[in-house]
């Protein structure tokens, strides 16, 4: 059985408590936390064994019971610790305050009253911050590809003149790209963040900490055998060639590099041969139309 209340008062954990036998306190051990489970906290409690009125140890204690709960004075759980004066309780909830008391019992099963109450608050678990990620926009013109390497995610979109890949990678990582020309084409130029890097076939963005861009352009290596005005390259200058050129002007339909070369016929030189002005416009479409119906020849 526990003995009388001691009239002295002591400080534990910065809290002034009236000492009962046994006196319960929380050891100054750091509680353990885990972000992977809600039942992750633990704490170690210790208490003084009861003593006789003359201060000598009371030898009739058979063991101790720990009681605890989430409201002061209300203890919904209990643990028989055996005859020890400290105990570690695990599987406590993060983000919760617990209140603890201890009792002793003798060999006849008689149990003392509660000790003083102590409490412990466990902070809420927080997930680690998600690492920042950045995007690299890789654009390959007609005639070749840009391919990213490494642990990245890629979204791809295409139009008539280029393939655009949006590459996402974590902050601090490095992402490499290889530039490859298709058969019949050659690399013309690569730009990195808008600045020309020349005819490089690979590039690495190291230690990513911002968004970037890389773009490659390509030109054909095949000679132009079709005559000027034969936009469709079918060996005949026809209404279809005039319509293809007109659509590129009015509907913004993109021509390939070779098609633009063959469609650029205006103006004619002094001998009546297509001279071109390095652009494709309505004048070219009309001149190809006149050639197709026989109003002009070259």
Asked if 196 contacts 213 with a C-beta cutoff of 8 angstroms, the reply is no
Q: How many domains does the chain have?
A: 3
* Residues 23 and 114 both lie in one domain: yes
Mean pLDDT throughout 285-290?
95
* Residues 139 and 115 both lie in one domain: no
* Residues 139 and 215 both lie in one domain: yes
Element at 42 (helix H, strand E): strand 39-47
Token pair, residue 57, equals 């140890």
* Residues 17 and 110 both lie in one domain: yes
For strands 96-106 and 118-122, give the pairing.
antiparallel
Question: Could you give the CA distance from residue 180 to residue 187 in angstroms, rounded to a whole number?
Answer: 8
pLDDT, one tens digit per residue, over 240-250 is 999 999 999 99
Statement: residue 219 has pLDDT above 50 = yes
In a domain, 24, yes or no: yes
Statement: residue 180 has pLDDT above 90 = yes
- Mean pLDDT computed over every residue of the chain: 84
Q: pLDDT-based confidence at 24, cuts 50/70/90?
A: low
Confidence (pLDDT) at 227: 87
Question: Could you give the CA distance from residue 134 to residue 127 in angstroms, rounded to a whole number?
Answer: 21
Confidence (pLDDT) at 12: 30
* Residues 180 and 202 both lie in one domain: yes
In a domain, 4, yes or no: no
List Cβ neighbours of 271 (8 Å cut-off, separation of 6 or more).
none
Confidence (pLDDT) at 184: 85
In a domain, 1, yes or no: no
* Residues 27 and 90 both lie in one domain: yes
Among left, alpha and beta (phi > 0; psi -120 to 50; other), residue 225 is alpha
Statement: residue 226 has pLDDT above 90 = no
Q: Where are the alpha helices (DSSP H) in the chain?
A: 239-250, 257-263, 282-292
* Residues 84 and 141 both lie in one domain: no
Statement: residue 225 has pLDDT above 80 = no
* Residues 62 and 19 both lie in one domain: yes
In a domain, 259, yes or no: yes
In a domain, 47, yes or no: yes
Q: What is the 3-state secondary structure (H, E, C) of 236-251?
A: CCCHHHHHHHHHHHHC
Question: Could you give the CA distance from residue 83 to residue 73 in angstroms, rounded to a whole number?
Answer: 24
Mean pLDDT throughout 17-29?
43
- CATH code for position 67: 2.60.40.10
pLDDT, one tens digit per residue, over 43-85 is 999 998 888 888 888 888 999 999 999 999 999 999 999 999 9
Hey, what's the torsion of the CAs at 56, 57, 58, 59, to 10 degrees?
-130
Last residue of a domain, one of 187, 220, 253: 220
* Residues 79 and 112 both lie in one domain: yes
Q: pLDDT-based confidence at 23, cuts 50/70/90?
A: low
Token pair, residue 266, equals 């205006």
In a domain, 42, yes or no: yes
| DSSP character string of 68-128 | EESBTTB--EEEEEES-SEEEEEEEETTEEEEEEEEEEETT--B------EEEEEPPP-PP
* Residues 201 and 145 both lie in one domain: yes
Q: pLDDT-based confidence at 158, cuts 50/70/90?
A: confident
Question: Could you give the CA distance from residue 29 to residue 90 in angstroms, rounded to a whole number?
Answer: 13
In a domain, 226, yes or no: no
pLDDT, one tens digit per residue, over 104-156 is 999 999 999 999 999 999 998 887 777 789 999 999 999 999 999 978 899 99
Residue 58 belongs to domain spanning: 9-122
List Cβ neighbours of 220 (8 Å cut-off, separation of 6 or more).
143, 184, 185, 186, 257, 258
Statement: residue 235 has pLDDT above 90 = no
In a domain, 249, yes or no: yes
List Cβ neighbours of 32 (8 Å cut-off, separation of 6 or more).
40, 41, 42
Residue percentage of the chain with pLDDT more than 70: 85
* Residues 141 and 188 both lie in one domain: yes
* Residues 270 and 190 both lie in one domain: no
Classify residue 289 by its DSSP letter.
Answer: H
Cβ neighbourhood burial of 192 (10 Å; 0-12, 13-18, 19+)? middle
């Amino acid at each position: 059985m526990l003995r009388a209340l001691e009239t002295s008062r002591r400080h534990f954990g910065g809290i002034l408590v009236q000492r009962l036998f046994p006196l319960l306190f929380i050891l100054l051990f750091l509680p353990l936390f885990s972000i992977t489970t809600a039942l992750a906290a633990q704490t170690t409690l210790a208490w003084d064994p009861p003593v006789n009125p003359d201060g000598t140890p009371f030898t009739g204690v058979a063991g101790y019971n720990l009681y605890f709960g989430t409201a002061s004075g209300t203890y919904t759980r209990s643990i028989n610790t055996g005859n020890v004066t400290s105990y570690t309780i695990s599987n406590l909830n993060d983000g919760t305050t617990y209140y603890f008391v201890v009792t002793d019992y003798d060999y006849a099963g008689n149990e003392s009253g509660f000790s003083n109450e102590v409490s412990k608050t466990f902070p809420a678990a927080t997930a680690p911050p998600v690492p920042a990620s950045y995007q690299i926009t890789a654009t390959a013109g007609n005639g070749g590809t840009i391919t990213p390497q490494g642990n990245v995610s890629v979204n791809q979109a295409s139009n008539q003149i280029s393939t655009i890949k949006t590459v996402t990678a974590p902050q601090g990582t490095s992402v490499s790209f290889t530039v490859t020309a298709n058969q019949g084409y050659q690399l013309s130029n690569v730009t990195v963040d808008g600045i020309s890097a020349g005819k490089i076939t690979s590039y690495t963005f190291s230690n990513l900490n911002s968004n970037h861009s890389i773009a490659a352009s390509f030109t054909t290596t095949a000679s132009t055998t079709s005559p000027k005005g034969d936009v469709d390259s079918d060996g005949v200058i026809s209404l279809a060639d005039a319509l293809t050129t007109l659509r590129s002007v009015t509907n913004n339909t993109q021509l390939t590099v070779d098609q633009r070369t063959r469609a650029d016929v205006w103006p004619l030189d002094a001998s009546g041969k297509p001279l071109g002005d390095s652009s494709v416009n309505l004048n070219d479409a009309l001149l190809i139309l006149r050639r197709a119906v026989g109003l002009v020849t070259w």
